[in-house]
Amino acid sequence: MRFLHTASAVSARFDDPNLIADAGLVPVLRLAQRCGLPELVDDAIRILDADNSGGANPAAKVTSLVAAMVAGADSIDDADRLRHGGMDIAFSGTRAPSTLGTFLVRHDGAVVSDGGERPSISSSS
């Protein structure tokens, strides 16, 4: 997920038909973006042996998971709240709950470090 507006362009009105229920995500995701969360994830996570899209674009998936948790999601299915209402007006790159679940399944605990290189996760199947 990436934030689509500059700080001066963000406003919240409660009479808008495209209301964003979780408008509190705007400053949280802006902070995550400014702190470099997507770049950190891209640099730090690599999923090996992903025979499907489980290993593709981990930064968008981690950011979507963070946003879902901040919005109160306590299950993968609850992450679907990020795709309702006017959320696509404020954010791009939101991943479907099934995609997030596939991504999380790839993290089976088999973390390997190659002497100074970024950690890799390989499947145990």
Q: Which of 97, 114, 116, 93 is nearest to 48 (CA)?
A: 114
Domain containing 109 equals 2-121
Residues 6+ apart with CB under 8 A from 30: 3, 7
Q: What is the DSSP letter of 3?
A: E
What is the average pLDDT value for the chain, to the nearest integer? 75
113 vs 94 pLDDT, higher one: 94
The whole-number average pLDDT for the span 109-125 is 47
pLDDT digits 0-9 by tens, 15-73: 665 667 777 888 898 999 999 999 998 888 877 666 556 677 888 888 999 999 998 88
User: How many distinct structural domains can be found in the chain?
Assistant: 1
Q: How far is CA 3 from CA 59, 70, 77, in A?
A: 13, 15, 22
Indicate whether 116 pLDDT > 80: no
Whether the pTM exceeds 0.85: the reply is: no
